[in-house]
Amino acid sequence: MASTARTIRNIAGIAAVVGLAIGVWLADLFNGFGTGESGPPAVAVSLGEQASQLPAPPTKEETTPDPSGEAPAEVATVIIDDRQYLLQTGETQTPKTLEQIVATAQAAPGNADGLKLKVVRRPSSRSSVEVALQDALKAAGLPETAIYWVPAPVAE
């Protein structure tokens, strides 16, 4: 009688392991349950695109231009490269000081969502420079919702 119980226990254990293996295999084949709708995701992020190839933000005519004489863009794009800040306008990237970046962000009218500044980091960017920019923007009174920090570093 003891050997029959042992045999049943062994068969049940083997069946559980095989069932688990089949479940793992089937989970890899299917994405899971969903609404049945397919298509591109709502937000697409490309990590392989170079910062110089990013599209220039649309410009908006302003009655009061910034001190450099250029009309500020709706959303200013700043690139942190090593220990410097680069302001991207169209295809050009101009080195700027921290104070100039803050002034540009304040002068930007923002888009419909209230976004005024887009910050892109290069792989060589220093975290201390990024923290200094965060602190300066916070001290200038820009809300966190007005700044978009691109999550992954973008190659040159």
CATH number of the domain bearing residue 127: 3.30.420.270
Q: Give the CA distances from residue 77 to residues 34, 41, 106, in Å, rounded to whole numbers and listed in that order.
A: 37, 24, 13
The count of structural domains within the chain is: 2
Instruction: Tell me how far apart the alpha carbons of residues 22 and 41 are, in angstroms, rounded to a whole number.
Output: 30
Which pLDDT belongs to residue 138? 92
Residue 37 reports pLDDT greater than 80: no
Residue 46 falls inside a structural domain? no
Question: What is the average pLDDT across 65-92?
Answer: 76
132 lies in some domain: yes
Asked whether the predicted pLDDT for residue 150 surpasses 60, the reply is yes
Q: Are 95 and 136 in contact (CB under 8 A)?
A: no
Q: Are residues 91 and 129 in the same domain?
A: yes
**Whether residue 22 has pLDDT greater than 90:** no
How far apart (Å, rounded) are the C-alpha atoms in residues 104 and 119?
13
Decide which of 136 and 69 is more confident: 136
Question: Quick one: pLDDT at residue 58?
Answer: 53
The distance of Cα 144 from the centroid of its chain, to the nearest Å, equals 14
Statement to judge: residues 59 and 134 lie in one domain: yes
- The predicted pLDDT at position 71 comes to 47
The answer to whether 121 and 86 have CB atoms below 8 angstroms apart is: no
Taking Cα atoms as reference points, which of 122, 110, 101, 134 lies closest to residue 57?
A: 110
* Cα gap 68→100, rounded to integer Å: 10
